[in-house]
Each structure stands twice: as C-alpha cells, then as structure tokens.
Amino acid sequence: MSSERIAILGPKGTFSEEAALRFNPDLERAAYSSIEEVFDAVRGGAARYGVVPVENSLEGSVSATLELLLKSDIQICREIVLDITHCLMALPGTGIQEIEEVISHPHALAQCRGFLKTLPGVKTRNFPSTAEAAREIASKGLSKTAAIGSRIAADLYGLSILEEGVEDEERNQTRFFVLSKECPEKSGQIKTSIVIAVRDRPGALYEILGYFARGGVNLTKIESRPTKKSLGDYIFYIDFLGDAGDERIRGILEKVAGLTTFFKVLGSYSTG
C-alpha cells in the first residue's frame, strides 16, 4: 500500500535512503532511478512519501528538484539535513594505485574535486546516484574502477573502502525534502518555501522583501533561477522561518502575492 511506502533515489545505499531512515525507519523504502521518478511515485500514489536532495553546502541547489517542485502539486513535508562523508571504494584487493576511473553522482564527484586531482590520469564518469556507481562495480567486477559514495553503500555491495572522508570540505552537508500529497502534523521549528515571479519594474523585489523585514520574518534563503522563457527573466525561490498557516505570516504572503506575476507556496514543514 502507498501509505506504507517512501520513494527514494536509488538503488539502496544512497544518502537519500539515509534521509528516509531518519524520517521514519518503519516505512517500506522503494528505490527509483531518478528524482523525477520519485516525484511521479508520490504524485501517482505508488508511495505516500518521497525523499529528494535539494541543496548541498558545497555545490548548491539541485536543479531537478527545484524545477519539479515548481510544476508539481505535492508539498514539502519535512526538511532533513545530513552530514555527508564520502568514501572511495573498490573491489576487495584493489589498490588505489590501480584505479583508472572513478564513478559517482556528478554532485559527489564535484564535492571531491580536490581529492580527485591527487589521482593523476584518473578519469571520472557520472552515474545517476552514488549507490548506483557502487553497484555497477560490484555487479560487473570492474577491477580498475572506484566509486565515491557512502560507507553504507560499500558494505551493501561488498566493496572495500580505499579512503574515507575524500570530500573537499569537512563541513559537507546535504539538505533533503520529504514530499507528500498529505503531510503529517508539523512540530518544532517550522520553515516555509515559496516561489515567486516579480513584476518588471524598479524596486519590485525590494518591496516584496520589505514586507518580510517589517513583519520580523527571518529569510533563510533566496535564490534566483531563470524561467527558461527569455534571457533575463527570473523566478525566485525563498525560504523563511514560520508557518504559512499562521495569521501573521498569511497576511504578509497575501501582500507579497499581490506584487507578483506568479506565486506558489511549496510547503510549510518541520526542520531538523
């Protein structure tokens, strides 16, 4: 039943699965091969919840997640932040000097650029997920290929860890969203995410931000992204502390909506 399942970016052993376990370890986890498929599983009822990465402290936002949130009718229910430790892994008995190629998700490879430069002549190749890269090595017996991923993935697919902590920065974190059409009751600190398009006139964005400032609302993130309609045409993703259902916040959002050409609440959700 969909009510008992949570869709994750698979296969098993991804950081998305770790986030799902943090959210609710009792839910059945169903692995999908892309972020879009996770959205589709929730939208179509194959899973009650979905977990997707949205932002990394080193590499920034995950474009696919933001674009799908813009078009989707499902809500953000929870924010989960994981400390990310990347491991270089290979088949048992493989030495690091034998590695000719390193494979992983493009974000993981980017988070380990400095380390990869210490492996002269080694090529890199993108995979849909870190765990998919680990599984590829194990299933095909790739003796001269290493993967970058989690310790869980190494254990799951029987690979040896050649080096741990290969990310460029010690404070490497990834933010995940839990998605659903029907969110559970919120508790603790609440955050809200919205997306807007502003009118093409001087001071439009400044005026919108002023409503939040005068209302004492703490903005935790604002990011512009192209609409892909024309050069110079942007939308803005805004995160702030507070619940869109609260009377004070609702009043601010009504004023903000009146100054925009597009306005959408992506969700009000618990953090942590």
Give catalytic residues, as residue numbers.
Answer: 174, 176
Q: Which CA distances in Å does 83 have to 9, 177, 186? A: 18, 15, 23
With H, G, I as helix, E, B as strand and everything else as coil, classify residue 108: helix
Give the ranges where 172-265 is alpha helix by DSSP (H). 204-214, 247-257
- Where do we find the tokens 């310790």? 151
First vs last Cα of the chain: how many Å apart? 27
Q: Are 131 and 14 in contact (CB under 8 A)?
A: yes
Q: How far apart, in whole angstroms, are the C-alpha atoms of residue 270 and residue 272?
A: 7
